[in-house]
Amino acid sequence: MNSSFEKLIRRNGDYCLPYLIHIYGTYLSDGSEHEVSLYFINDTEDLSYKNHVYKASAFSYKSGVFEYGFSGGGTLSIAAEEENLFELIDAGSAFTLDVTGVIDEDGEVTELRSFSHSYGKVSVSPTQLDFTFDKDERLSMTFPTLVWSAQNNRGNS
């Protein structure tokens, strides 16, 4: 299991629900490349963290199931208020979602490193965007290389 996640569940009620997320990528428009870097927090107030202002926004992030320490994907539903997000999707460009932290009871941010997603599906409606991020594709391998050993695959080694 992922160490950050373990840390989260060991704590008792110390954590609040707001997540800090960073969505970034590039898209082509008018023949030139535009960079998009958006910082959001699902809270009622903006938050400054590590020289970035996380804009109070309306979204819900849920992590997928971690397997063998690999990310199990996740889902993000976000209110369609940011035009740049539409442009990223409209251009079919690659982008990444990093969940950079979670707020604890004191208002401090606990940094998260393992919640990062790049591939998946998105459905668009006038009110919200629903992202479904895929799990790490190495988990689909018959013998995931990073967890394979002669011990756990005796019949096949």
Partner 1 sequence: MAVQWPEDVNKKFYGLTTGAEENYVEVQFESGRKRRFKKNSTVPCTHSFSFLLKNKAEEKAFWRWYKEDLQGGAVEFEIPSILDPSENQCYMLASPPSVEKSQYPKEATLEVFES
Q: What is the binding site for partner 1 (CB under 8 A)?
A: 12-13, 15-18, 43-45, 47, 103, 105, 107
- Contact in structure between 93 and 26 (CB atoms under 8 Å): yes
CA distance 147 to 84: 39
Least CB distance to partner 1 at residue 126 (A): 13
CA dihedral angle for residue 74, residue 43, residue 10, residue 137, rounded to 10 degrees: 10
DSSP 3-state assignment of 104?
strand
Return the number of the residue (18 or 74) whose C-beta is nearest partner 1: 18
Least CB distance to partner 1 at residue 47 (A): 8
Return the number of the residue (45 or 111) whose C-beta is nearest partner 1: 45
Of 69, 57, 65, 48, residue with least CA distance to 18: 57
Least CB distance to partner 1 at residue 37 (A): 23
Return the number of the residue (1 or 17) whose C-beta is nearest partner 1: 17
Least CB distance to partner 1 at residue 77 (A): 16
CA distance 85 to 35: 11
